[in-house]
Structure 1
């Protein structure tokens, strides 16, 4: 185990709001061991930015990690040449060109259907009644799982997210996760004959065409679902909440002084939907006066780095005009989020502008509670639509 100073947390309080603890760690022990998480946390932005690239020490290969055990060894749990080869295989699905020419229209169609369902209603929850469906429909298109209901897409994604964050080893959470991965496998099996006969640019199809083994293809689809549903869902609903809670920025967008892309990028810095990324220490290493030992578990805390007082002028404030070029919302190293272009398109070019255009008088109806530290977002966002 590392000799990092120990920082104790209340897990429930940390889930409700991790930022006070993270601020104390940045100030007092920027590399700290948290016994309640069984991991050493790196909390400062520059330490994360530099060390995430050192894959010979901070390895993504985690054969005993929860994600590998529950979902199979996907490309996120590989380093070096194997990781690069699989990123290259999926690139035809997630490239900026494909997002613009293929997926954007499908994203807009999905958002329009969700908005049509809200027509005539006085109130709604932007998480369950809008963002959840928009994100899931986009993910159905991109994965190729058009045979899966959007509600099931959200369920299986949440189940895998919960399973991968189940560091306490709750058997009920693990069993639910296995049920969710089994559902994904059934839906993939159902789609395979059609996609083999008529290939397209979906994630299933491009991996088959690239010659990846079926087990690897299935693991990468599960990875895409675990990271491609909850985070966009939470960012859509969360960024909409941020604009309604800060009406001056909504007016700035409507006046053309601020773009929806600035809104999304700042929200992703301020309330990082992906709050951390785990690593396995592959060899003894010293960093910041702390000695890390082989097989230690370490978390790069993106959500903390994105609020680093030494990097950002107003770290705890939502301000779409501030300089956030140093943000690490999508990662900082070779595992930079492959879905970044799709997320920017879905959220900044489709979901947010369409929502506020359809309901120009939308307003918050109540408080919006947030939760999570590994993955963070609003639990619900109650609004009045008219």
Structure 2
């Protein structure tokens, strides 16, 4: 393992709120080995921004990693030409033009129907009743798995996420992850002949038409689901709760002094739905006085980078007027999130403005609890509202 100083955490407390520990690490041991995670954590923004690009040292190739073992060797677990070839193959699905010309209309239509159902309830959990189906319906269209129920999309996404973060080796979590990947495969099997007969812009269709091997198609669709469901779901519900908890911030948006995109970008910085990305050390190297050795495991802590005091003033404050340019919520290197344009469109152009346009009088029923460190979001957002 690396010769970084050791920093111990309470895993349960770290899951509840990692930010106090991360702040101590940034101050006292910005590169620290955490025995409870069996990994060396990089916690400062500038170091992560720099090292993520040095894939010859911080490699995404992790054949023995949890994601590769459970979901297959997807493009996120490749570097160099191997990564770029597959990234170019799927680009027609996630390009800004396709998002604008194909997906946005579908996002709006699905969200309108979900809002109609929500309005009749008068109260509910905005994670379960709004953010989850909005995110899942969008992902169904984009992946091509329109034969999957939205609640099943959410279930399999969460199961794969839990599996990829199962560093404690819980057998039940692993078994559930296998059940979720099997469900994805069954839905892919059913859609292959459908999309072969009627191609569209979905990930499954575009990948098949590009000649991508089926094993890679399956792995990349599982990747898209594992990250493409939870991040928008948690960002939609989390951004709504953040605005309701910070009413002065909501008023800035409603008065036109801040944009919905600014809300999304600040929430993604403040709460970092994707808080960590793992790397395998490919060769010995010394970084900021710490020597890494081949096969060491390193975690790039995006959630910590986005609250780095050296970069952001009052980083623990939710501020929609903040310059979020230095944030690395979507990554900073060749693995910059391919779904970033779709995520911005779904959340900032559709889910948030349509929600607050529909519900003018809304309040939280219970305090919101955010949980997680590799993936972080609200467990629930209970609210009540009136329709005007």
TM bucket (normalised to shorter chain) is over 0.9
User: In the TM superposition, what are the counterparts of 1:125-164 in structure 2 within 5 Å?
Assistant: 125-164=125-164
The corresponding residue for 2:266 is 266
User: In the TM superposition, what are the counterparts of 1:180-259 in structure 2 within 5 Å?
Assistant: 180-259=180-259
The corresponding residue for 1:166 is 166
User: Is 1:295 aligned to 2:295, yes or no?
Assistant: yes
> What is the CA–CA distance in structure 2 between the aligned matches of 1:275 and 1:266, rounded to whole Å?
14
Secondary structure of 1:160's partner? helix
Secondary structure of 1:176's partner? helix
1:120 is displaced (CA, Å) by 2.4
> What is the CA–CA distance in structure 2 between the aligned matches of 1:285 and 1:94, rounded to whole Å?
35
When structure 1 is superposed on structure 2, of 52-61 and 315-324 the one drifting more is 315-324
The corresponding residue for 1:42 is 42
The corresponding residue for 2:73 is 73
Query: Alpha-carbon deviations, 1:283-336, whole Å to 9, x = none?
Result: 001001100010000000000000000001121100011111100000010000
The corresponding residue for 1:8 is 8
> What is the CA–CA distance in structure 2 between the aligned matches of 1:32 and 1:55, rounded to whole Å?
20
Query: Alpha-carbon deviations, 1:98-137, whole Å to 9, x = none?
Result: 0000000111111111111112222111100100000000
Secondary structure of 1:361's partner? strand
> What is the CA–CA distance in structure 1 between the aligned matches of 2:148 and 2:240, rounded to whole Å?
27
The corresponding residue for 2:316 is 316
Secondary structure of 2:121's partner? coil
Unaligned runs of 5+ in 2: none
Task: Tell me if structure 2 keeps the 8 A contact 1:231–1:274.
Answer: yes
> What is the CA–CA distance in structure 2 between the aligned matches of 1:301 and 1:106, rounded to whole Å?
34
What is the TM-score when the length of structure 2 is the normalising length?
0.99
Secondary structure of 1:312's partner? coil
> What is the CA–CA distance in structure 1 between the aligned matches of 2:119 and 2:25, rounded to whole Å?
47
Task: Tell me if structure 2 keeps the 8 A contact 1:124–1:385.
Answer: no
> What is the CA–CA distance in structure 1 between the aligned matches of 2:120 and 2:97, rounded to whole Å?
37
The corresponding residue for 1:63 is 63
Secondary structure of 1:83's partner? helix
1:5 is displaced (CA, Å) by 0.3
Unaligned runs of 5+ in 1: none
The corresponding residue for 2:109 is 109
> What is the CA–CA distance in structure 2 between the aligned matches of 1:384 and 1:151, rounded to whole Å?
22
> What is the CA–CA distance in structure 1 between the aligned matches of 2:33 and 2:209, rounded to whole Å?
44
1:15 is displaced (CA, Å) by 0.1
> What is the CA–CA distance in structure 2 between the aligned matches of 1:120 and 1:74, rounded to whole Å?
41
Task: Tell me if structure 2 keeps the 8 A contact 1:96–1:341.
Answer: yes
User: Is 1:93 aligned to 2:93, yes or no?
Assistant: yes
> What is the CA–CA distance in structure 1 between the aligned matches of 2:301 and 2:125, rounded to whole Å?
29
| Equivalent pairs, count | 386
> What is the CA–CA distance in structure 2 between the aligned matches of 1:36 and 1:312, rounded to whole Å?
29
Secondary structure of 1:41's partner? strand
What is the TM-score when the length of structure 1 is the normalising length?
0.99
Query: Alpha-carbon deviations, 1:357-382, whole Å to 9, x = none?
Result: 11110111110111000000000011
Secondary structure of 1:298's partner? strand
The corresponding residue for 1:304 is 304
When structure 1 is superposed on structure 2, of 218-227 and 122-131 the one drifting more is 122-131
> What is the CA–CA distance in structure 1 between the aligned matches of 2:34 and 2:379, rounded to whole Å?
26
> What is the CA–CA distance in structure 2 between the aligned matches of 1:191 and 1:233, rounded to whole Å?
24
> What is the CA–CA distance in structure 2 between the aligned matches of 1:12 and 1:160, rounded to whole Å?
20
1:252 is displaced (CA, Å) by 1.1
When structure 1 is superposed on structure 2, of 43-52 and 312-321 the one drifting more is 312-321
Q: CA RMSD in A?
A: 0.6
1:86 is displaced (CA, Å) by 0.5
